[in-house]
Chain A
Amino acid sequence: MELTNLIIPTATARPGMSVEEVFRECVRVDVPGIPFQEKDGTITGKASIRYVLKETFIPDFMVKHAHLLGDEIRHLDIKENQLSEILSLDIDSFVLEKMAVVNSSTPIAKALATMEGLDTTYLFVIDDGVYKGIVSTMAIARTMLTQA
């Protein structure tokens, strides 16, 4: 099993791109996030579905006490009229600098260790500054099943 066989090519998020465009790309290739690429081509962070949802819908006080929440919290729930508003936001304000990066010759074990260390399920493959794609734990599991 080689890392190069697990790479999923994706588009990158760019400055000024909307949340909707990023989500569409993530859903199209079934990945939790894509890298953020500046105008000069450098990858400087990641645009993550999880982070956007957290920042827009889930305040810290709910996260801290999620285990206590009942089901009758409709007025704190996501409103439908918020959806289009969130999707129209620029992705720039949701870019995370912390991201897991490896190159295409990285062993699978190191890739997994990197993901584990950064508490993520996917990482970006970048060779000499050129973005190649995403490797995720899902892709690793899928390959394990086909090769077993």
Chain B
Amino acid sequence: MTLTEDMWIAAGTLLCAYVLIFSEVLHRTSAGIIGAVVMVGVGTYYGFYSQEAAMAAIDGNTLMLLLAMMLLVAMLRPTGGFEYIGIRLAKFAGGDPRWLLFYLCIAVSVFSMFLDNVTTVLIFAPLTVLITRMLRLNPVPFLMAEAMLSNIGGASTLVGDPPNIMIGSASGLDFTSFISNLMPMILPAWIATFLLILFMFRHELQSAHGAGHGVDLDETKAITDKAGLIRISLVLAIVILLFFVHHHLQLFPAYVAWIGLALALLLIQPDPELLFPDVIWSVLLFFTALFIIVGGVEASGLLEFIGHLLADGAGDPGTLLWTALVLMWVAALLSALVDNIPFTVAMIPIIAALEGQGINTEVLWWALALGVGLGGNATHIGATANIICIVEAKNSQHPDANITPMQWMRIGFPVLFVSLTMASGLFILLFESFS
């Protein structure tokens, strides 16, 4: 198999599109749409792509799953449930900064496993600032820990972060497979990260002078719609339960989410005009554009070509492990520097092509999920949750709460190294069970 003109053209178009996306000259969604239009136009002109193929390249399962989960969170958020839990946990910590850190991070991580972690952090971050300011604590350790541990928590389930949703959709790996294979690596990485943050912020996590200040927040006023909270919580419980068994019931994860959405709309009957604007359409359109762009590259045959190049290493069980580890670390380092979504979208067809050659790709899927999931912690731009925390830290008006990019990396790179090393070690130990 050799490189053809179509492959070069597709690669060039992909490169230009990705440069435009990463350069941030335009909003990434605008850049993605432009790239998609160019890819379809160029591909149609040279004959390797078409509008029909572009439509077929769009992963509806991923988009519909994301859409449904966004709407479910949009119905949950106004009920005040998140705030109630946050305040209760804060009071339970009894003013001890370390226990407060632990409880808040657990909450954010668990929510991030099942709900969009950006929204979870968006809700918890200002509340965290309020709680820590009340306790005369620097909010920075709490905000950074929440961002990093929500990224890690979200990497453990099929629905926890967008890359996993895409990987699950492409690979056919079900919700239970994600948890059972990733959790044994994610949980120790989570613990190690938490302990590392506890150590690195040991001075900031001392109880403040004049401790005894309580968290003077009234959690009973947090819940603004008790009936709505009960209903949406019930719906989410059903959705999560169905996620665990969706494979046995032969239900797509997206359909499961839509079942939940339908139930929620029936039980809560929100005003659609108020609800639908809460969908982050820029994210959905960005993903759509990426699918079209990468679909063009796939149609040119380039990804199959790359798959053939990798087949030797991936096909030999002796080198498959090292191929997976290289993929994990490359994915992590790239995710630290740039958006992990375009990398994931590009890698998926390559790994899928390997599967078509009879190679056991499950190992590679887990490596990709771990790499893109853990890599975002290294830099302030590695994940959207990180940026949210930096903004909230600045708005906290605490004198020591301005997080510079260098300050983030001083914590982020050790976190990345420790969590990825931990995950890699366990990956090696568990390799036989994957393959």
Q: How far is the CB of A69 from chain B (nearest CB, A)?
A: 7
Residue B275 interfacial (CB < 8 Å): no
Q: How far is the CB of A47 from chain B (nearest CB, A)?
A: 22
Question: Which of B127-135, B185-193, B235-243 lies at the binding interface?
Answer: B127-135
Task: Decide if B134 touches A68 in the complex (CB within 8 Å).
Answer: no
Report how many residues on chain B are interfacial, defined by Cβ distance under 8 Å.
21
Question: Which of A2-10, A54-62, A91-99 lies at the binding interface?
Answer: A54-62
Task: Decide if B216 touches A70 in the complex (CB within 8 Å).
Answer: yes
Task: Decide if B133 touches A70 in the complex (CB within 8 Å).
Answer: no
Residue B214 interfacial (CB < 8 Å): yes
Residue A72 interfacial (CB < 8 Å): yes
Chain B, range 376-424, C-beta contacts under 8 Å to A: 392, 395-397
Residues of B contacting A65 in the complex (Cβ-Cβ under 8 angstroms): 83, 126-127, 130, 217
Chain A, range 67-115, C-beta contacts under 8 Å to B: 67-73, 75-76
Task: Decide if A76 touches B133 in the complex (CB within 8 Å).
Answer: yes
A64–B129 alpha-carbon span in the complex (Å): 11
Task: Decide if B395 touches A59 in the complex (CB within 8 Å).
Answer: yes
Chain B, range 197-233, C-beta contacts under 8 Å to A: 213-214, 216-219, 221-222
Residue B87 interfacial (CB < 8 Å): yes
Q: How far is the CB of A22 from chain B (nearest CB, A)?
A: 22
Residues of A contacting B221 in the complex (Cβ-Cβ under 8 angstroms): 67-68
Residues of A contacting B87 in the complex (Cβ-Cβ under 8 angstroms): 68
Q: Which of B136, B213, B218, B392 is A61 in contact with, Cβ under 8 Å?
A: B392
Q: How far is the CB of B82 from chain A (nearest CB, A)?
A: 11
Q: How far is the CB of B138 from chain A (nearest CB, A)?
A: 14
Residues of A contacting B392 in the complex (Cβ-Cβ under 8 angstroms): 61
A60–B396 alpha-carbon span in the complex (Å): 8
Given A73-B134, A75-B136, A76-B133; A61-B219 close (CB under 8 Å):
no
A49–B302 alpha-carbon span in the complex (Å): 62
Task: Decide if B130 touches A62 in the complex (CB within 8 Å).
Answer: yes
A73–B395 alpha-carbon span in the complex (Å): 18
Residues of B contacting A61 in the complex (Cβ-Cβ under 8 angstroms): 126-127, 129-130, 133, 392, 395-396
A75–B213 alpha-carbon span in the complex (Å): 9
Task: Decide if B216 touches A60 in the complex (CB within 8 Å).
Answer: no
Residues of B contacting A70 in the complex (Cβ-Cβ under 8 angstroms): 216-218
Residues of B contacting A69 in the complex (Cβ-Cβ under 8 angstroms): 216-218
A64–B123 alpha-carbon span in the complex (Å): 10
Task: Decide if A68 touches B218 in the complex (CB within 8 Å).
Answer: yes
Residues of A contacting B83 in the complex (Cβ-Cβ under 8 angstroms): 65, 68
Q: Mark A33-52, 1 if CB is under 8 A from B, else 0.
A: 00000000000000000000
A147–B127 alpha-carbon span in the complex (Å): 49
Task: Decide if B217 touches A68 in the complex (CB within 8 Å).
Answer: yes
Q: Which residue of B lies closest to A62 (CB)?
A: B130
Residues of B contacting A64 in the complex (Cβ-Cβ under 8 angstroms): 126, 130
A68–B392 alpha-carbon span in the complex (Å): 18
Given A65-B130, A68-B222, A75-B136; A59-B214 close (CB under 8 Å):
no
Residues of B contacting A67 in the complex (Cβ-Cβ under 8 angstroms): 221
The CB with the most chain B CB atoms within 10 A, among A61, A65, A71, is that of: A61
A64–B130 alpha-carbon span in the complex (Å): 10
The CB with the most chain A CB atoms within 10 A, among B214, B217, B222, B396, is that of: B217
Residues of B contacting A68 in the complex (Cβ-Cβ under 8 angstroms): 83, 87, 130, 217-219, 221-222
The CB with the most chain A CB atoms within 10 A, among B126, B214, B222, is that of: B126
Interface CB pairs A-B, < 8 A, 17: A59-B396, A60-B126, A61-B127, A61-B133, A61-B392, A61-B396, A64-B126, A65-B217, A67-B221, A68-B83, A68-B130, A69-B217, A69-B218, A72-B216, A73-B134, A75-B134, A76-B133
Task: Identify the A interface with B (CB < 8 A).
Answer: 59-62, 64-65, 67-73, 75-76
- Give 11 A-B pairs besides A64-B126, A75-B136, A75-B213 with Cβ atoms closer than 8 angstroms: A60-B126, A61-B126, A61-B129, A65-B83, A65-B126, A67-B221, A69-B217, A69-B218, A72-B214, A72-B216, A73-B216
Q: Can you list the 8 inter-chain pairs with the closest CB atoms, starting with the nearest?
A: A70-B216, A61-B129, A72-B216, A61-B126, A68-B217, A61-B130, A60-B395, A59-B397
Task: Identify the B interface with A (CB < 8 A).
Answer: 83, 87, 126-127, 129-130, 133-134, 136, 213-214, 216-219, 221-222, 392, 395-397
